[in-house]
Amino acid sequence: MPNSHWTPADIPDLKGRTALITGANSGIGYRTAQVLAEHGARILLAGRRPDSLADAARRLRTDVPGTHPETVELDLGDLAAIREAAAPLAAGETLDILVNNAGVMNIPERRLTRDGLELTVGTNHLGHFALTAHLMPSLQRSSAARVVTVSAVAAAWRAGDLADLMSEHRYRPMSAYAKSKRANIVFTQELARRFADSAHRAVVVHPGSAVTNLQRHTSASRTGRLLVALASRTLMGSPDGAAWPSLFAATHPEVTNGAYLGPAGRDQTSGTPEPVRLPAGADGPDLGAWLWRESERLTGVTFPVPQT
């Protein structure tokens, strides 16, 4: 996968291809949408708040003259809303690129989605699991669809063990986040196995460290806000560079099914995307099959891609 000099300028012409990006109203998601639009893709901006989506669409029309973004109101914490949002697309649209980008982190107390699922895993993993399932008819109409799911370096933390997936026995905010991000990887590996006999590809990425709207959940304390402000000036990259792994995964012709990509720079915080090491055991078929079954049970969604 030669990529040592890759930049978004190397993305091929995407005219005729349709991309849906969740969490596309700001940060990494918006930058991903912007660059894909610059290369000719039709863009579907998906997010929870209609006003924020409308603002993002206006900005995108200004940033990329001639583009005509569409918006999809989508609450990943509401399974009925996910089904409703996906239904018109599944009925007749062709979707070539799905970027599962949206997420929440560091929710101070254990909270539940509308369907009674722990909020962080319920949004970051189960919401995207259900969305991808409902959009499979659209993805299967593409000659070579890509499902790109955005994980995080937290996936490698010991706290990311998927036991007690719903944090029913013990809840820690960043443990729940780490679980959700490891689940993104395990889900992608299992989806890649199910795509093995097709031209479709499932790819997972982590963006390194970037200042995005996720940081709004970090801490309400004055000390916490100061630490985030300091980190944003010294340690974290911008959403521009942090979008590179998603863009590479969505467009590079040599990206392989099941790849895990992250920044190549020191400590994987920034730089040109490259394959990075999976958390130990995250590609195990037994774990993948278990998480798939558990995800179907928790969401009530049967994924229309058979096990190989």
pLDDT tens-digit profile, the chain (308 residues): 545 689 999 999 999 999 999 999 999 999 999 999 999 999 999 999 999 999 999 999 999 999 999 999 999 999 999 999 999 999 999 999 999 999 999 999 999 999 999 999 999 999 999 999 999 999 999 999 999 999 999 999 999 999 999 999 999 999 999 999 999 999 999 999 999 999 999 999 999 864 444 444 444 444 444 433 433 333 345 678 899 999 999 999 999 999 999 998 766 666 789 999 999 999 999 999 999 999 999 999 998 876 76
Q: Which two tokens stand for residue 289?
A: 């099959």
Bridge-based pairing of strands 18-22 and 42-47 is parallel
Contact criterion met (CB below 8 Å) for 77 and 22: no
Superfamily of chain region 11-209+239-297 = NAD(P)-binding Rossmann-like Domain (3.40.50.720)
Q: Give tens-digit pLDDT for 82-136.
A: 999 999 999 999 999 999 999 999 999 999 999 999 999 999 999 999 999 999 9
Helix (H, G, I), strand (E, B) or coil at 141: coil
In which order are the strands placed within the sheet that holds 201-205? 70-73, 42-47, 18-22, 97-100, 146-150, 201-205, 260-263, 273-275
Give the domain ranges of the chain. Answer: 11-209+239-297
**pLDDT reported for residue 218:** 44
Please give the positions annotated as active site. 177
Query: How many CA atoms lie less than 13 Å away from 270 in the CB half-sphere?
Result: 11
**pTM for this entry:** 0.91
Q: How many whole angstroms separate alpha carbon 266 and alpha carbon 146? A: 28
Spatial CA neighbour of 258 closest among 179, 182, 205, 180 = 205
From residue 134, give the alpha-carbon distance in Å to each of 30, 59, 110, 286, 305: 23, 29, 27, 24, 11
Rounded to a whole number of angstroms, the CA Rg of the chain reads: 18
Q: How many whole angstroms separate alpha carbon 264 and alpha carbon 224? A: 29
Neighbour-count burial of 210, counting CB atoms closer than 10 A to its CB (0-12 exposed, 13-18 middle, 19+ buried): buried
